[in-house]
Amino acid sequence: MRRNASITLLSVGHACVDIYQGAVASLVPFFVAERAYSYAAVSGIVLAASLLSSVAQPVFGALTDRWAMPWLLPASTLLGGVGIALSGVSGSYALTLAFVAVSGVGVAAYHPESARVARLASRGSHSAMGWFSLGGNLGFAVAPLMVAAVVATGGLRLTPLLVLPALVGAVLCLPVLRALEQQESAGAAAAVAAGGDDKASFVKLSLAVVCRSIVFIGLSTFIALFATERMGGSTAAGTAALFVLYLGGAVGSVLGGTLANRWDRVTVARWSYLLTAGSVAGVVFVPGPALYLFVALTSAGLYVPFSLQVTLGQDYLPSRVGTASGITLGLTVSIGGLVSPLIGSVADKTSLQTALAPLVLMPVLSWLLFRTLPEPTVPQPGAAAHLKGDDTDAALSPVRPDHR
């Protein structure tokens, strides 16, 4: 299977999975309206999606470092969709938490293996990895529109309809699985890394991604409610703000890969975080419709480094690519959800604006951490690969930096 075809299928599959990450925050206003949940209660729902995901991501990453597990792509897609589909069926808060947690495990299982396969299929191209990340951003962007179209018309009882993207995504994974079935014998699955692991740099990178995660998850949880307050109580205003937050990420992902072809990844990420700090301040403090402009700038700024951080993590830990992917793409992203209940509690006691104000500091911390990071050399996977098809030049050639 050729590189472009593989990346396209993986990108669409990524979109189908990340719809369910975006759906959690998209359902928050409906849980508040239909079930009268408090800010702290809806924060707990976001926490449920994040907590198990936080634990599961590195576990699945470590497993994929030892064994090829291509079946995780369709299976985890379905699990993510089923959890969200059932979240609105019962009025029980405990069951809602359980179903959302199941969805979070599905999302966690998907990302390490898909990131590994995407890296191999991309042949080290920053642009191709940007397109792979774009799929996830589009999934996030579609989520509030899809949830609004389904739930706004018939209430939370219609959430079973939200399983449809998972069915589509699982089917689209099948051509990739057919290519994976042609992989070499079990001993050929391990990549031969060039150079050793740089654990210190990986830890700094992970901390920077945690700070980024706190901003993004915090805004994705509360931006719809914040925009509704700022725009006079309009639910449509809140949905629009969440859509802009997710759509801006799509622009940022593609832009990040393009910029990294001209400058190194660390430099691009560092400047992006510095500029993002100002746009987050605009979201929190600038009144009126300008909110949407700053939401878009914040989203793009947070996503310019996103795919770059995944490949940086893989290059800092070349002997454990799956683990690196699970942490940079999953664990550190999920940790942001752990802070959401604290933001919700502060908002209940004061105001949303007061609770969101500390988020301005997070991109500054990411910028400071990136100031100390080196640009790593790119590891060379030899004959090993998870992805092998008839077109071995496209799918399996050694990873090289993309400077095109």
- Summarised one tens digit per residue, pLDDT across range 256-287 is 877 877 888 888 998 999 999 999 999 888 88
Check: CB of residue 275 under 8 Å from CB of residue 301: yes
Q: How many domains does the chain have?
A: 1
Q: Quote the tokens at residue 290.
A: 């300008």
Find the mean pLDDT for residues 158-164.
Answer: 90
401 — pLDDT class (breaks 50, 70, 90)? very low
369 — pLDDT class (breaks 50, 70, 90)? very high
pLDDT, tens digit (0-9, with 9 covering 90-100), for 232-253: 766 778 888 888 887 787 788 7
**What 3-state class would DSSP assign to 187?**
helix
Q: How many CB atoms lie within 10 A of CB 142?
A: 21
- Is 144 within the bounds of a domain? yes
380 — pLDDT class (breaks 50, 70, 90)? very low
Find the mean pLDDT for residues 299-326.
Answer: 83
Q: Quote the tokens at residue 324.
A: 């690196």
Helices and strands (DSSP H and E) totals, the chain = 17, 0
Q: Name which of 205, 217, 213 is nearest 324 in CA terms.
A: 205
- Would you say residue 116 has pLDDT above 60? yes
Distance CA 282, CA 284 (A): 5
- Is 389 within the bounds of a domain? no
Distance CA 235, CA 228 (A): 6
Q: Quote the tokens at residue 347.
A: 């908002």
Between 219 and 401, residue with greater pLDDT: 219
- Is 373 within the bounds of a domain? yes
pLDDT of 165: 92
CA atoms within 13 A on the CB side of 209: 29
pLDDT of 27: 84
Find the mean pLDDT for residues 123-142.
Answer: 75
Percent of the chain whose predicted confidence (pLDDT) is above 90: 11
- Would you say residue 397 has pLDDT above 80? no
- Is 392 within the bounds of a domain? no
- Would you say residue 201 has pLDDT above 50? yes
pLDDT of 182: 62
Q: Quote the tokens at residue 336.
A: 């942001």
pLDDT of 385: 40
Spell out a b/e string for 166-199, using b for 16 or more CB atoms within 10 Å of the CB, else e: bebbbebbeebeebbeebeeeeebebebeeeebe
Distance CA 384, CA 397 (A): 10
Between 393 and 298, residue with greater pLDDT: 298
Sequence-ordered list of residues with C-beta below 8 angstroms from that of 344, at least 6 positions apart, any chain: 38, 39, 40, 41, 42, 43, 221, 222, 355
166 — pLDDT class (breaks 50, 70, 90)? very high
Between 395 and 322, residue with greater pLDDT: 322
- Would you say residue 389 has pLDDT above 70? no
Which position has the token pair 């379905």?
A: 78
- Is 189 within the bounds of a domain? yes
- Is 37 within the bounds of a domain? yes
330 — pLDDT class (breaks 50, 70, 90)? low
- Would you say residue 209 has pLDDT above 60? yes
332 — pLDDT class (breaks 50, 70, 90)? low
Q: Quote the tokens at residue 127.
A: 């642009």
180 — pLDDT class (breaks 50, 70, 90)? low
- Torsion sign over Cα 306, 308, 311, 315: negative
- Is 404 within the bounds of a domain? no
The range of the structural domain enclosing residue 164 comes to: 3-381
pLDDT of 192: 41
- Is 230 within the bounds of a domain? yes
pLDDT of 3: 62
CA atoms within 13 A on the CB side of 204: 17
Distance CA 94, CA 103 (A): 15
Cα separation of the two ends of the chain: 22
Find the mean pLDDT for residues 76-93.
Answer: 87
Q: How many CB atoms lie within 10 A of CB 207?
A: 15
pLDDT of 7: 79
Which position has the token pair 């079973």?
A: 160
Chain mean pLDDT for the chain: 78
pLDDT of 361: 92
Percent of the chain whose predicted confidence (pLDDT) is above 70: 83
Q: What is the CATH number of the domain that holds 272?
A: 1.20.1250.20
- Would you say residue 367 has pLDDT above 90? yes
pLDDT of 78: 93
pLDDT, tens digit (0-9, with 9 covering 90-100), for 59-82: 887 787 777 677 888 999 999 999
Find the mean pLDDT for residues 302-327.
Answer: 82
- Would you say residue 347 has pLDDT above 50? yes
- Would you say residue 159 has pLDDT above 90? no
